[in-house]
Structure 1
Amino acid sequence: MTSFSEDVYFATVTELNARLLKKEFSATELARAFLARLEKLGPRYNALALLLRRSALEQAKRADDEIKRHRLRGPLQGIPFGAKDLLSVAGQPTSWGARPYAGQVFTHTATALHKLERTGAVLIGKLAMIELAGGGGYRWAAASLTGPCLNPWDTTRWAGGSSSGSAAAVAAGLVCFALGSETWGSIVTPSAYCGITGLRPTYGLVSRYGAMALSWTMDKIGPMCRSAEDCGLVLKVIAGGDWQDPGSAGKSFYYAPDTVPPLKELRVGFAPADFEEWAEPAARPDFLKALETLRGLGVQMKEASLPDYPYSAVASLIIDTEGSAAFEDLIASGKVEELADAKQIAGLKAGLDVPAKDYLRAMRIRRLIQQDLRKLFAEVDLLVSPARFGPANKITEPLDRPRTERPRPQRRGLSELGAAGNLAGLPALVLPCGFADGLPIAIQLVGRPFSENTLLAVGRLFQQVTDWHRRRPPVPSE
C-alpha cells in the first residue's frame, strides 16, 4: 500500500483535491490509507461505529475513472469522509449509537450522503455518537453503544456530544471531513472540544431525510471539517430542498464568501461578560486574543446581549417532549431499559408525561424569542461568543454537575446563545481559537437565517491570520 505522510491525513479538502488532480496519488490509494488509519485508530478513541471498506473502494475506483476521463465533479471528488451513525446507508447497519437498535438496517440512504456520493466523495465509515443523540438527557460520556468517545488531544477527556465520533475522527486525521447533527450543541460542543471547524446550518437548509429524528422542529445536519472553507464546500453539496423532509426550507446554498459586504461594514455583537466572567480562567487569555483578532480584521465590534427569556428551559422542554414522542415505541416496548445511561432512560420516560399545554406554551415563547432575535439582528450582523466556556470534560466527570464552584456571573451576556440560536434555527460557525490547560477552545459566530456565506467569509479570514485550526493532536503512530 502507498505510504503517506501525516500531512496527507491532516490536509484540507482543497489540498487533497489538488494532489489528486496532479496524479500524485489516486483516490483508491487515498481511500485505502484512510480506511487503514480509521480501522486501526478509530477504536482507540471509541470513534468508529462501522467501517465501510467495500463500498468505499468502489466509490474511490469510480472517482479515479472519472478523473482519468477528466469528468470532474468538484473539490470533494475522491475525498474520504465519515458520517455520524444516525444517517442511514442502504443495506448497512445504522445503530443510532444505542444497543436497542444495534443491527438496524434501512433500505434507503440519507439525502445528504446521497448528494455527497453523487459528487464523488468517498464514505469510509459510520462514526460513533451518544445514544439517540442524547434524547432524554444523559449524565455520562459513556452513554453510547461504543463507550465514551475519547478526545484525541487527551484521551482522559471527552470528545463532546452527541456528534462525538465525527469530531474525534476529523481531529485525529482519520477522515478528511465528517457529517454531524445538532439539536442543541451536538456540532458546536464536539467541534470546540476537539479543535476542529464545525458548521451548524440554518434549520431546514440541509435535508434530514434518512437521519434519526430526535426533535422534528430543531434537528439539523452539518459539516465538521478542518477549515471554514472546507465547511463551505461541503455545505454547497449537501444543502438544498427535499420534499422527503417536511422541514426543508427549499433553499440551496452556493459557497461564495467573496460576495459578502466588506468587513468594515459588518457589525459583530459581543458581550464582555462572556469572555471575562463566564469563561473559565484558563481560557480567558486566548478568548480575549480571539476577540482582538476579529477586531483586527476590520469589523465593527459592538456590545450586545440576549433578550430576557428562559432559553434553556424552553429548549429542554421542546426537545424532551419531541424526543420522547419520537421514541414512544422504544419506551412502550421496555427496550429503553437497554440504554447505557440511567438518566437518559428516566428522561425519555418522563418526556411522555409533559402536558400538551406546557409544550404549546414553550412553542409560543419560542416564537417570541424568534421575533426578538430578529430585532437584535437588525442591530448587528453577527454575534460572537465562546463556543464552550472551557475545554473538554474528563470522561469520569458527570456531565450534569457544574464544572466550577465559581459564583454564577450576574451579567447574562450571550451565555445562552447555544439554546437561543437553536430555538431560532440560526446558523453557527465554530472556529478554534487557542488552548486552555493544553486543550482546544473555540469561539462561535452566529448569524441571521441563511447567512452562512457571511459566517464563512469571516471564518476564512480569521483562519488566514491564525493557525489554531492547523494544530494537530498527539496521534499515536499506526
Structure 2
Amino acid sequence: MSIKTDRRALLRGAAFTGAVGAIGGCERFQIRSVAANPSTDIDPKITTRSIAEAEKLQGISFSAAERGMMLDDIENRLTTLAGLRLMDMPNGLAPAMVFNPKLPRKKISSQKNRLSLPLISRALPENEADIAYASVNELGHWLRNGSLTSAQLTDLYLRRITKHNGELNAFITITEGLAREQAAKADVDFSNGRDRGPLHGIPYGLKDLADTKGILTSWGATPFKDRIPDSDAEVTRKLRLAGAVLLGKTACGAIAYGDQWFGARTRNPWNSDEGSSGSSAGSASAVAAGLCGFAIGTETLGSIISPSERCGTTGLRPTFGRVSRAGFMALCWSLDKVGPICRTVEDNAAVLSAINGYDADDPGAARVGFTYEPLDLLQMTVGYVPEWFEEGDESDRKALEALRSLGITLKEFPWPEIDLSALSEIVQVEAAAAFSDLTLTDRDDELAWQAKEAWPNSWRAARFVSAVDYIQIDRLRRRVMEAMNSAFDGFDALIGPHFAGGALLATNATGHPQLALRAGFSQRPTVSLFDEPIQKQTFKAPRGVSLWSDLFEERKIIAIGAALEKTLGVQDARPPAFS
C-alpha cells in the first residue's frame, strides 16, 4: 500500500474512529464516531448495503450495480470530508456564497440618511416608572432640555434591573461601571453642546450574541459561558459613537434558540410563569418591563418577532443586509439579521438610523441609506389576505379596521401559492455547519436544552440533508423571491398576523423587513415556547400584528405602524407587576 493510500485510509478511518490526533499532530477535537459508541452493532466498514440503507434517508433508490460503482467515490469523499473537519473554521468565517435579497433587475430607491421624529411637548413625569417607560424620543427630549441627565436615567434603569432581573432573568451580564462612565460622558457632551443624535445618553440592552470588547459574550450557551471577545461588534461600535449607554448584555436562548440559556429561563413580564419566547428573549423582556430605553435583538427565523408578540413590544426585523452582523454570533449566514426592539413604533426608526449602514466586514452588507420622515398615508396602498384575518382573532381584525379608518387604501394581496416548508431546512443546515465542532466533539451534550426540538438533535439530523437537495432548496428560495417581488408590485405594505400563511418563513427567506407592533390584548392560558397551554388559568396577554414592506422600505411600515399604534391606543399599557 502506497503512502498516499495509507494516508487516505487513515483519514477515512478518522471519520469513523475519531483517530484524528494521528493526522499531522492535530488534536483539536475527536470526531463523533461509531467507535466512540462501542455498544452499537453497526459495522464501520462502508459496503453496498450501507449505501442501500442510506438511500432510505434520502428517499431515493439505486440498483445493486449502481451502488457498487459509486463505492470508491463515496470512500474518497469520506477521505476529503475527514480532512475538511480537521480545518479550523471559526464561527465568523462566512461561506463564499453570499445571499443577496435584491434580484438582478430589482430597483431600490435611493435614501439619504435623514431622520425626522415628532416634536415632544410632554413634561418630565414625577413618577420614576413613567420615565422608565417613556419612548426614546421623549427621553431624548428631556435629556436635551435639561429636565433629566443621562446619569439620572442610567441610575433609574440600574435600580429597576437590580429590583426585577432576579425574577425575569433578562440580563446575563450587567455593565454597571461602563454604563455610569458612558452616561457621565453623555452629560458632558450635552453640557458642551455636542449632540450625537437621537440615542445620545439613552441606556439600552444588547443581545448577548454581539461582541463587546473585554465583556462576557456567552451566546447564552454553556460551551461559551466564559467567552470574552477582544473586539466590539460593528453595531456595538456604532451605538457607542451614537452616545448610547450600555446597561448590559441581554439574555438569549442558547445559540439563538428559545428562551432557555445556561443560567435560567428568561420570563415574560406579563406572566412570569412562562418564558418570554426567543431567541431575543432578554431584549424583549427588558424593554417590556421598563428596564432599558431600547434593546438590540437578532432574527434568523422569528427571534425578534416572536418575543415581541409574547412581551408586547414593537420589534423591527430590517431588510437582510441593512444592518451589519460583523461581530455577532453567526447562526445562519444567509438569514441572520440585527434589529431593534422598542416600546413604540417610531423608536425603531431612531435606533435603525444609528445602526444602519454598509460594513465591509459583513459579506452580506448592503449600501443603502435610511430615511424616515412624514409620509402621506392617504397615498398608500396596503395589502391584506382575507383568510389570514378570518383565521385570526379579534385583535387582528380590529387592526385591519383601524388601518382602514386612516384612509389608507386596502386591497387584497396576491400571496404566492407556493409550498414554503422546505425553506426551514436552510436554518437547520447552516446552523449545523456553523456549530459543526459541537456535534463532532459531543460538546453539544453541554447545552442545557436537549429535547427533540433542540439544536443538538436538529444538527445531527441536518447532516442527512444532501447537498443536492440543499441546492434545490436554494433554487426554491429564488422562486419565492421572484414571487414576492411580483406580489409587492403596487403595494406599499402588507398587514397580517405575525405567523399567518407562512409569511414569517417566506419573508425571512426573501430578506423582506417585518415590523411587529402591539394590537390589543386577549385572555389566554400560560403557554410553552411552542404556544402549547401548560396551565388552565388565563391572564391578560398582549397581542400583536405585523406589517411587511418591500426591500429597504422600512420607512413605510414604520410610518403606517406609528399611525396604527396611535389609532389602536393600547401601547401605553404596562405589565402590572412592573408598572
* TM-score w.r.t. length of structure 2: 0.73
Distance 1:177 1:142 in 2: 19
Question: Secondary structure, in 3 states, of the residue corresponding to 2:372?
Answer: coil
Distance 1:235 1:114 in 2: 14
Compute the displacement of 1:295 (Å). Answer: 0.6
Question: Secondary structure, in 3 states, of the residue corresponding to 2:216?
Answer: coil
> 1:231 is aligned with what amino acid?
N
Distance 2:192 2:379 in 1: 45
Compute the displacement of 1:38 (Å). Answer: 1.4
Counterpart position of 2:253:
130
Counterpart position of 1:9:
132
Compute the displacement of 1:324 (Å). Answer: 0.6
Is 1:461 aligned with 2:534? no
Question: Secondary structure, in 3 states, of the residue corresponding to 1:313?
Answer: helix
Distance 1:110 1:255 in 2: 25
Compute the displacement of 1:325 (Å). Answer: 0.4
Distance 2:398 2:233 in 1: 40
Does the Cα contact within 8 Å between 1:197 and 1:469 map onto a contact in 2?
Answer: no
Is 1:422 aligned with 2:545? no
Structure 1 residue ranges without an equivalent (≥5): 135-140, 389-413
Counterpart position of 2:355:
238
Distance 2:130 2:378 in 1: 35
Compute the displacement of 1:476 (Å). Answer: 4.4
Is 1:180 aligned with 2:282? no
Mapping for residues 368-379 of structure 1, pairs under 5 Å: 368-379=479-490
Counterpart position of 2:286:
169
Counterpart position of 2:307:
190
Distance 1:271 1:370 in 2: 18
Across the aligned residues of Structure 1 and Structure 2, the Cα RMSD in angstroms comes to: 1.5
Counterpart position of 1:269:
383
Counterpart position of 2:472:
361
Does the Cα contact within 8 Å between 2:399 and 2:568 map onto a contact in 1?
Answer: no
Compute the displacement of 1:24 (Å). Answer: 2.0
Is 1:293 aligned with 2:381? no
Does the Cα contact within 8 Å between 1:39 and 1:51 map onto a contact in 2?
Answer: no
> 2:290 is aligned with what amino acid?
G
Counterpart position of 2:23:
none
Pick from 135, 142, 146 the counterpart of residue 19 of structure 1.
Answer: 142
Counterpart position of 1:223:
340
Distance 2:460 2:181 in 1: 43
- Stretch deviating more after TM superposition (289-298 or 337-346): 337-346
> 1:310 is aligned with what amino acid?
D
CA deviation string 1:98-146 (max 9, x = no partner): 1111010111111111111101110101011111112xxxxxx563223
Mapping for residues 312-327 of structure 1, pairs under 5 Å: 312-314=421-423, 316-327=424-435
Compute the displacement of 1:305 (Å). Answer: 4.3
Distance 1:65 1:185 in 2: 39
Distance 1:57 1:143 in 2: 29
Compute the displacement of 1:341 (Å). Answer: 1.7
Cα 1:263–1:476 change in 2 (3 A) is: closer
Mapping for residues 82-231 of structure 1, pairs under 5 Å: 82-134=205-257, 143-231=260-348
Distance 2:334 2:209 in 1: 17
Question: Secondary structure, in 3 states, of the residue corresponding to 2:560?
Answer: helix
CA deviation string 1:52-75 (max 9, x = no partner): 011111111110100010111112
Compute the displacement of 1:420 (Å). Answer: 0.7
Distance 2:287 2:445 in 1: 32
Does the Cα contact within 8 Å between 1:4 and 1:33 map onto a contact in 2?
Answer: no
Does the Cα contact within 8 Å between 2:259 and 2:275 map onto a contact in 1?
Answer: no
Pick from 412, 435, 446 the counterpart of residue 521 of structure 2.
Answer: 435
Identity, in percent, stands at 39
Counterpart position of 1:387:
498
CA deviation string 1:438-466 (max 9, x = no partner): 10011100010000111111011112223
Counterpart position of 2:190:
67
CA deviation string 1:10-40 (max 9, x = no partner): 0001111111122223111211221121133
Mapping for residues 393-412 of structure 1, pairs under 5 Å: none
Does the Cα contact within 8 Å between 1:200 and 1:222 map onto a contact in 2?
Answer: yes
User: Which is higher, the Rg of structure 1 or of structure 2?
Assistant: 2
Distance 2:207 2:127 in 1: 26
Number of residue pairs the alignment of both structures matches: 435
Compute the displacement of 1:287 (Å). Answer: 1.6
Compute the displacement of 1:4 (Å). Answer: 5.5
Question: Secondary structure, in 3 states, of the residue corresponding to 1:475?
Answer: helix
Distance 1:146 1:196 in 2: 24
Counterpart position of 1:475:
577
Is 1:307 aligned with 2:441? no
Cα 1:142–1:340 change in 2 (3 A) is: farther
Distance 1:23 1:378 in 2: 47
Question: Secondary structure, in 3 states, of the residue corresponding to 2:205?
Answer: strand
Distance 2:127 2:237 in 1: 29
Compute the displacement of 1:155 (Å). Answer: 1.2
Distance 2:550 2:147 in 1: 41
Cα 1:228–1:149 change in 2 (3 A) is: same
Counterpart position of 2:11:
none
> 1:109 is aligned with what amino acid?
D
Distance 1:291 1:146 in 2: 41
> 1:102 is aligned with what amino acid?
K
Does the Cα contact within 8 Å between 1:82 and 1:124 map onto a contact in 2?
Answer: yes
CA deviation string 1:179-210 (max 9, x = no partner): 00001111111111111111100000000001
Is 1:332 aligned with 2:440? yes
